[in-house]
Structure 1
């Protein structure tokens, strides 16, 4: 997918998320020779990828500069990066809670900045990447960033930067919420008499298959659930428990709300 992607990548830091993304990009055909990773330790990150421990005098021409370190490290790298910034570069930030405005103050003009919020399944090409940029970002730069994100999974632009914490609650925190649901299914079956290991295998495989069906279906998941649930049958009996007083909807809404609100709180703390 990325065999013809010819813009250089310059990664500032290569933490868990950035490392997962880089691994997937290389698997998708990105030429290692197009990648440079800046990390103080100098630790290798992949065959053929150049790793440096300090900023070069000049960044690669037309590079996508990816901020892949921890958000609290921005202050340490921003002066060196800002001093080397040029109009031909694009800044792609993975830093949670760091707004386009803050990035513009610290590093690059607003019209050169793209924020990306990925989640952990990007390593398998099954992730979600929410993207946001100032309306002034030109189409060519949008297309370059979009092309880089596509091999990671679903990549979509969001309408407003204020949506990032909600998107993060849904897609970033969401895998943990789903893992908890799988665990609850397995534990419920175990408590009702199924062997523990088998209950977990069945629950995990069922969720994988059902998710694949939902992704390929021509209708919404709620309708799919009703199609499975025949009147008076086992599925309908179970759904009636989940649907009573819309308690599952309320639980999920409260879960997302709590995660979103915490994200907003952390954002305020980091800005202050």
Structure 2
């Protein structure tokens, strides 16, 4: 967790952002909020929208420049399907002092290394979509070429959109993808299912949707602000013999919600492994 105000972001040199879609754009906005000098940022995007062109121009950020000062950081935020071509283009701007950070799902350190100059410092990350509002979580792993200073810099860059956690075993990235990368969709579906259950219990659809969305969002915010573990929060709102206890008897049954989530995370983990094999 990163409580309190984040420090102003400073770089040892230019940063090249390759891909300014939803996640790349969220990172860019986070860096600018932390005071990063726009003149230090280059953006390369193969198909920039009119809105992106206008936004970058207004902020004084170079888009698809014909030339650039050698970047100290290259952050890859393109679609995994064009990784090979992106690495070929990026390799021209990578030297022994460049840190390459990837947010591409399924792109292993080995796959990244194969397309870059020998002994490039590489960090693979897995952020998630709440990064768009600065409430994401990013899991990171570095190769052996990354220095302590580069590791600290990468943490600072990714903390611009939320929390950061480091792992030492890349094999864990598939489970990370299944839990946090895909996890927001599970929560959204929970809100959908809760609303539908409310309708079946007799609530008007609009009210059921409002109650479900506000309840899921509020519960998440309560966890975030208090820092209290979910188990404690659950127990705090469960009176013996009450309505919540009656519902939890169903959800906590052997074939209940935990069983379903375990099966879902297992399926997502296995799919992530398959995608990583290309």
TM-score, structure 1 length as denominator? 0.90
Assess if the C-alpha contact under 8 Å between 2:250 and 2:256 holds in 1. Answer: no
> Does structure 1 residue 50 correspond to structure 2 residue 62?
yes
- 1:24 matched residue in structure 2: 30
2:96, 2:120 within 8 Å by CA — same for their partners in 1? no
**3-state SS, counterpart of residue 252 of structure 1:** helix
- Find the aligned partners of 2:118 and 2:100 in 1 and give their Cα distance: 9
**Bigger mean CA offset, 86-95 vs 44-53:** 44-53
Distance across 2 between alignment mates of 1:23 and 1:140: 23
CA contact (8 A) 1:42 1:53 kept: no
| Distance in 1 separating the partners of 2:119 and 2:240 | 56
Q: Is the 8 A contact 2:175 2:265 kept in 1?
A: yes
Name the CA distance, whole Å, in 1 between partners of 2:92 and 2:257: 52
1:10-159 correspondence runs (5 A): 10-41=16-47, 43=49, 44=53, 45-46=55-56, 47-52=59-64, 56=67, 59-61=69-71, 63-109=72-118, 112-159=121-168
Q: CA RMSD in A?
A: 2.0
2:10 is matched with 5
Runs of at least 5 residues in structure 1 that lack an aligned partner in the other structure: none
Displacement of 1:20 after TM fit? 2.1
Tell me the number of residue pairs that the alignment of Structure 1 and Structure 2 aligns: 266
Deviation at 1:80, TM superposition (A): 3.5
Q: 1:211 to 1:42 in 2, by over 3 A?
A: closer
User: Which range moves more in the overlay, 117-126 or 133-142?
Assistant: 133-142
Structure 2: tracts of 5 or more residues without a match: 1-5
Alignment TM-score, normalising by the size of structure 2: 0.88
1:261 paired with 2:267, answer: no
* SS of residue in 2 equivalent to 1:30: coil
